Amino acid sequence: MIMSRTEAASEQARGDLTERLLAGLPTEAVLTDPDVTGSYANDMASFCPAGAPAVVVLPRTVEEVQHVMRTATELRVPVVPQGARTGLSGGANASDGCIVLSLTRMDRILEINPVDRIAVVEPGVINAALSRAVGEHGLYYPPDPSSWEMCTIGGNIGTASGGLCCVKYGVTAEYVLGLDVVLADGRLMTTGRRTAKGVAGYDMTRLFVGSEGSLGIVVRAVLALKPQPPRQLVLAAEFASAAAACDAVCRIMEGGHVPSLLELMDRTTVKAVNDMAHMGLPETTEALLMAAFDTPDPAPDLAAVGALCEAAGATQVVPADDVAESELLLQARRLSLTALEAVRGVTMIDDVCVPRSRLGDLIEGVERIADKHQLTIGVVAHAGDGNTHPTVCFDATDPDESRRARESFDEIMALGLELGGTITGEHGVGVLKKEWLAREIGPVGIEMQRGIKQVFDPLGLLNPGKLF
């Protein structure tokens, strides 16, 4: 093989980089085989460009991460931090010649304290592993993204992940009390606290949550926990129109109820789930709403919510008889995105959040957009939060269908902004929504955000090309 001068130079640089990295990392923590490193190029987003990493590193200690960042700064090599790569916006996609910094091997739960109701964890801990571990102490770590069996706490922090429980318990951001962060130049900074409250200086912890690896590398997190609530009981309600289901959502929230979950699946989604998993959901429905309560006595709330659903035009209201039946319904909900993927082979999952009073307008608008582009768009929604995932199903081998998919995806974001919403409720900006971030927050906002980026990462090495 004959290399050009540029290729030879780049090969040489890569060799230097690897050698420098190996000075502070064990051999098995530095991967350079292109077949292997190539498998770290992408997260789970569709249609987001990704480059070829120069090297993948898998540190196990804070000191090793510091060594990686020092090396990156000295050699001016970009660094892309990664968790489990379950993200849906390309935020963890590699850039050409970068160091992929995978935090998956830093997966220790360092402390669980039931009096202080905190856990201290490394970033590579799997969300479900933490949930189970704290559960053994009677505690509860609420944030539950659909990928919770795979995704890492570090990734959750990077994207400020949400999930099904947010309507009652809020998002990841509300559970991060303090962080240890390795800065771009390798220095270690501690933010926040171990205490329930604290207002010493600017809230740097929250600045890092949702910053998509662009400000520093989270190497340790102090997380707030709640006492484990009783298992939730779910009620399902069928509606003859999505509008009626959205009306029910408004009535429930206006009525002062605090469901632990309030989810909506449209007809397309229900059918997709049945097709894939034969779950026997009612296919005659135009919209299926699920509400749950995890209070000691959920009966009064469930009865009241059932009545509100009927008042909004529900054709059938079915309270789950027990926790097992409730779990089955939730299982159906959790399978939605996978099931929609099977419809045409590929999906683009949008993540538009609107004020919940505008939920009906959003869903109606999505139907209009689907009609216009002759596409199947299934809508699943964390309805109680107004956070919808209109999911565009398409055949990626058909260029025209792909183009229409992309257009409809963008039109849904435009609609979300029009309705007073945001382009992303919980998935983040990544590369997928970069242009849209500027539209949402405007030039002054972008200028200030870039200013902050500059403070933490003056050389622009951390996850370049994301967010802005």
Site for its own copies in 133-162 (CB under 8 A): 138, 159-160, 162
187-194 long-range CB contacts below 8 Å, 24 or more apart?
A: 187/66, 188/62, 188/66, 188/219, 189/216, 192/222, 193/222, 194/116, 194/118, 194/120, 194/222
For its own copies, the binding residue among 38, 51, 97, 170 (CB under 8 A) is 170
Stretch that binds its own copies, among 143-151, 232-240, 250-258, 396-404 (CB under 8 A): 250-258
CB atoms within 10 A of CB 254: 11
The reply to whether 189 sits near its own copies by the rule CB under 8 A is yes
Binders of its own copies among 79-118, rule CB under 8 A?
113-118
Nearer to its own copies, 39 or 190 (CB): 190
User: Which contiguous run of DSSP H or E holds residue 139?
Assistant: strand 139-140
3-state secondary structure 209-248: CCCCCCCCEEEEEEEECEECCCCCEEEEEEECCHHHHHHH
Beta-strand relationship, 217-224 and 233-239 = unpaired
- Positions 192 through 231 that interact with its own copies (CB under 8 A): 193-204, 206-207, 209-211, 215, 226-228
Taking the C-alpha atoms of residue 20 and residue 257, their distance in angstroms, rounded to an integer, is 58
- Residue closer to its own copies by CB (options 365, 428) is 428
Q: Which of 107, 385 has the CB closer to its own copies?
A: 385
CB distance 134 to 234 below 8 Å: no
Is residue 48 part of the contact set for its own copies (CB under 8 A)?
no
Nearer to its own copies, 282 or 313 (CB): 313
Select from 119-127, 271-279, 317-325, 440-448 the region that touches its own copies (CB under 8 A). 440-448
Min. distance of Cβ 463 from its own copies in angstroms?
13
Alpha helices in 384-433 (DSSP H): 399-418
Select from 428, 432, 461, 463 the one that contacts its own copies (CB under 8 A): 428
Stretch that binds its own copies, among 54-62, 170-178, 286-294, 402-410 (CB under 8 A): 170-178
Geometric angle at alpha carbon 248, from 358 and 375, rounded to 5° = 55
Cβ neighbors of 280 (< 8 A, separation 6 or more) are 274
Backbone angles phi, psi at 346, to 5 degrees: -135, 155
With H, G, I as helix, E, B as strand and everything else as coil, classify residue 454: helix
294 makes contact with its own copies (CB under 8 A): no
Residues 253-292 contacting its own copies, CB under 8 A = 253-254, 256-258
Distances (CA, A) of 315 to 205, 216, 381: 46, 51, 20
Part of the chain binding its own copies (CB under 8 A), chosen from 63-71, 169-177, 265-273, 339-347: 169-177
Give residues 339-378 in contact with its own copies (rule: CB under 8 A): 353-357
Q: Taking contact as CB under 8 A, which single stretch among the options 149-157, 263-271, 369-377, 422-430 is the one that binds its own copies?
A: 422-430
User: Does 441 help bind its own copies (rule: CB under 8 A)?
Assistant: yes
From 289, 381, 437, 461, residue interacting with its own copies (rule: CB under 8 A): 437
